[in-house]
Amino acid sequence: MSKVNTLASGMESILTERRSVRAYMEKPIAQPLLEKIFTLAQKSPSNCNTQPWVVHVASGETLNAMREALPAQAKSGKTHLDFPYNIKYPGVYQDRQYDAANQLYASLGIKREEKSRRQEVFMQNYQFFGAPHAVFLFLPAHFDLREAVDVGMYAQTLMLTLAAHGLGSCPQTSLGFHADIVKEMLGVDDSLNLLFGISFGYPDNENPVNNARVGRANINDIVTFHQ
């Protein structure tokens, strides 16, 4: 097999295997491997090579303190966002959202009318799904949408790198709803704005929640080829 075919095959496997993991083993990732992964993620592209992402990784006592503080604020109904969140999901976008949620709850045997159980599952966001690590992605306050897109590309590069090393991850918009707590615990000031966080670690493949697989739209509904 040629080098190109080998690379393509490996990339296809990584893209196929990567998913949002919502249950993790307690085993932490060794520091040398963490540093290797984040070094590779730094290869991500950005507009004019500005590399506008600012990255904070929380583990150990820091992450455990967040597991205590974040659920309390979430249950109170209070939020503190650095970026507004007033998005509506009309039509097909709402359909995709519902399909993903239904797949998730079905993997746990939770019915649509069991709202309290669904809420318990949602609150696992603030326990980082038991992950031993979480990364928080910030953008300098003077940047805007274009640079936020760069951070999104960095996040995808990071998650694919984690998958390539047999690790799981879950990007979480919900963590951006409590930027005040996150920034205080990480010692981050208002010169940075929190976009979102990603829980990551070794997947717990025995947990049924990780059996959920959400579909993707057919490329004919997404991609237009012009010739």
Q: Which residues of the chain have pLDDT under 50?
A: none
Q: pLDDT at position 210, please?
A: 93
Is residue 51 in some structural domain?
A: yes
Using a cut of 0.85, tell me whether the model's pTM lies above it. Answer: yes
| Residue from 85, 58, 88, 79 nearest 187 by CA | 58
Which residue range is the domain that position 133 belongs to? 3-221
- pLDDT value of position 7: 87
Q: What is the pLDDT of residues 152-166, one digit of tens each?
A: 999 999 999 999 999
Taking each helix axis from N to C end, the angle separating 145-164 and 3-17, rounded to the nearest 10 degrees, works out to: 100
The tally of domains found in the chain comes to 1
In what order do the strands lie in the sheet containing 192-201? Answer: 54-59, 133-140, 192-201, 168-172
Helices (H) and strands (E) in the chain, counts: 7, 4
227 is a domain residue: no
CATH value at residue 47? 3.40.109.10
pLDDT of 3: 80
Digit-coded pLDDT (tens) for 50-81: 999 999 999 999 999 999 999 999 999 999 99
pLDDT value of position 212: 87
108 and 37 Cβ atoms separated by less than 8 Å: no
pLDDT at res. 174: 96
